[in-house]
Amino acid sequence: MAQLSWYDELTTELAAEAGELLAAAEGLDGVAPVGEAVRLRMRPGATGSRHLFARVDGELAGYAHVDLLGDSGGNKVAELAVHPTYRHQGVGEALVQALPQDDLRIWAHGGHPDAEKLADKLGFRKVRELLRMRLRVDADLPRPVLPEGVTLRAFVPGKDEAAVVYVNHRAFDWHPEQGSMSIEDVRAKEEEEWFDPQGFLLAFDADDKLLGFHWTKVHTPALGEVYVVGVDPASQGGGLGKALTLAGLHHLREQGVEQVMLYVESDNAAAVRVYTKLGFTLWDADVQYSR
């Protein structure tokens, strides 16, 4: 029987312990069990979360994170992992049963079959699917063609945060998470080891107004990511999104990566179509469940 403990924030020691569990789960499953937002909230002093630890004989067997701020629909969002040593022993079920049940949504990264079985057992159903697609960039890539009068430059920390957040909000006002990105969120990511302003491409018109951006990310020397492509709705439909995407892909290839991944909502047919035409293929999917 697992012993459960809640924490409003994590100490350095607890964060390290949870990190080791997450690394063990990722090593077996081949996909990270929690997203980047959770990793940021695991830092000592971070607020807006609750952390649930499940121990068996004193050893950390499971970890769950609850985002109390929730998504734009008012849902609390949870992500969890069970250490490979303690799987199929009721730890995952104990974690889920202990979570706040009202307006709860739970992510299962990579669409793990064990998560699907547990969801079915506990009365959860699939309500959202986030596709992960990938592209080999050693093949020929079309050159980006920017609309007339549009220029690209790299992001400048301390100067461009507000403009990026404004365009991001307009571009993603429909999105449960992305639309709520704040200036503080951008600045926090600037402190991440992976952040590279040269890979954060901004598109401006002749009046120096930001029209859109492509924020790239390098995970490993071999793997990059189309992290966020955002285009102001007033500038959509003229090919800017495709040009920004291609500009970012060329930048990532110049960094030496072999493959590029991205996430896209499964019901965003237009975006899936664009990425498919560029050569992206389905890798796997993250699934969100709700009762």
Tens-digit pLDDT profile for residues 89-147: 999 999 999 999 889 999 999 878 889 999 999 999 999 999 999 999 977 889 999 99
Is 241 annotated as belonging to a binding site? Answer: yes
Which CATH number does the domain housing residue 106 bear?
Answer: 3.40.630.30
**pLDDT tens-digit readout, 39-72:** 999 998 888 999 999 999 999 999 999 999 888 7
Check pLDDT > 80 for residue 179. no
Is 238 annotated as belonging to a binding site? Answer: yes
Is 129 annotated as belonging to a binding site? Answer: no
Residues 274 and 223 in one domain: yes
> Which pTM value belongs to this model?
0.83
Is 58 annotated as belonging to a binding site? Answer: no
| Sequence-ordered strand ranges (E) for the chain | 3-7, 49-56, 59-67, 76-82, 104-108, 125-136, 151-154, 200-204, 210-220, 223-231, 259-265, 281-290
Average pLDDT across the chain, whole number: 93
Residues 117 and 158 in one domain: no
Asked whether residue 129 is domain-assigned, the answer is no
What is the spatial distance between Cα 259 and Cα 223, in angstroms, rounded to a whole number? 5
- Domain boundary (123, 143, 167) is at 123
Is 198 annotated as belonging to a binding site? Answer: no
Residues 141 and 278 in one domain: yes
**What are the φ/ψ torsions at residue 66 (nearest 5 degrees)?**
-120, 120
Indicate the number of domains in the chain.
2
Centroid of chain to Cα 60: 25
What is the spatial distance between Cα 164 and Cα 99, in angstroms, rounded to a whole number? 35
What is the spatial distance between Cα 191 and Cα 198, in angstroms, rounded to a whole number? 15
Residues 273 and 162 in one domain: yes
Residues 57 and 158 in one domain: no
Is 249 annotated as belonging to a binding site? Answer: no
Asked whether residue 291 is domain-assigned, the answer is no
Is 30 annotated as belonging to a binding site? Answer: no
Residues 193 and 278 in one domain: yes
Q: What percent of the chain shows pLDDT beyond 90?
A: 80
**pLDDT tens-digit readout, 223-245:** 999 999 999 999 988 899 999 99
Is 153 annotated as belonging to a binding site? Answer: no
Residues 213 and 87 in one domain: no
**What pLDDT band is residue 254 in, cutting at 50, 70 and 90?**
very high
Asked whether residue 61 is domain-assigned, the answer is yes
- Domain boundary (123, 146, 168) is at 123
pLDDT at position 175: 80
Is 274 annotated as belonging to a binding site? Answer: no
Range 176-181 average pLDDT:
80
Residues 280 and 138 in one domain: yes
Residues 98 and 153 in one domain: no
Is 231 annotated as belonging to a binding site? Answer: yes
pLDDT at position 271: 86
Residues 140 and 118 in one domain: no
Which residues does residue 152 pair with via DSSP β-bridges, in sequence order? 203
Instruction: Look up the domain containing 43 and give its range.
Output: 3-123
Is 227 annotated as belonging to a binding site? Answer: no
Residues 211 and 278 in one domain: yes
Residues 189 and 85 in one domain: no
